Chains A and B, each alone.
Chain A
Amino acid sequence: DAKTTQPNSMESNEEEPVHLPCNHSTISGTDYIHWYRQLPSQGPEYVIHGLTSNVNNRMASLAIAEDRKSSTLILHRATLRDAAVYYCILRDDTGNQFYFGTGTSLTVIP
């Protein structure tokens, strides 16, 4: 399973944008980049995924570097409910399983 590297923790002020980085220098051409988050006392939930192009959905945006060796999850206006652990995961198209790392713990300051 390809590895990802994320900062252990980050802080953001409420209502400001948050940029959560992820490095995946060993990514292969068929790896999809997935992001999940885990709120306190809950199971992880899907946030967004992409392959090569930047992606937007109602929760967040995903910016993928041109060489695909890094990506950034963007929360446009952080709220207190966005405080969670955010996981960046690579998954190829052969159906390998979802392996989670330690993620980034995001603290949102009121």
Chain B
Amino acid sequence: ETGVTQTPRHLVMGMTNKKSLKCEQHLGHNAMYWYKQSAKKPLELMFVYSLEERVENNSVPSRFSPECPNSSHLFLHLHTLQPEDSALYLCASSQVSRGYEKLFFGSGTQLSVL
């Protein structure tokens, strides 16, 4: 496998469920990101991990909980979500450098909260 892989591709969950989104990168990068893309809205940066430490958390509600056990894997744990959390969740990775690093995205998980 190459690139950034996200699973599952689609997820339907109720508001009381607990689920996790998984992201794996095979590029040897040292930074990983979670973005949220709601319908007809720009991508919103949620979390950033650099060298396995969280370096950014953009006021994301606590019902979203990220985990980065190593530089290749990133999880987003979900619990007691709301219908407005329905969106495309995108994972990305990069090799941290000054200004010219490139982001590589996965295909995303389309989440529907009922």
Interface size class of A (residues with CB under 8 A): 20 to 34
Name which residue of chain A comes closest to B92, CB basis.
Answer: A43
The number of chain B residues touching the other chain, given as a range, is 20 to 34
The segment out of A10-18, A73-81, A99-107 that lies at the interface is A99-107
With A97-B48, A100-B43, A102-B42 as given contacts, are A43 and B107 in contact (CB-CB < 8 Å)? yes
- Collect the chain A residues with CB atoms within 8 Å of residue B108's CB: 42-43
Complex alpha-carbon distance, A98 and B35, angstroms: 10
Q: Per a CB cutoff under 8 Å, which of A31, A46, A51, A94 touches B103? A: A46
Contacts of B48 in A (CB 8 A): 97
What are some 16 contacts across the A-B interface (CB < 8 A)?
Answer: A30-B99, A32-B99, A42-B107, A42-B108, A43-B105, A43-B106, A44-B90, A44-B103, A91-B99, A93-B98, A95-B96, A100-B35, A100-B42, A100-B43, A102-B41, A103-B42
In the A-B complex, the 9 residue pairs with the smallest Cβ-Cβ separation, listed nearest first, are A43-B105, A93-B99, A93-B98, A100-B43, A32-B99, A46-B102, A43-B90, A102-B42, A100-B42
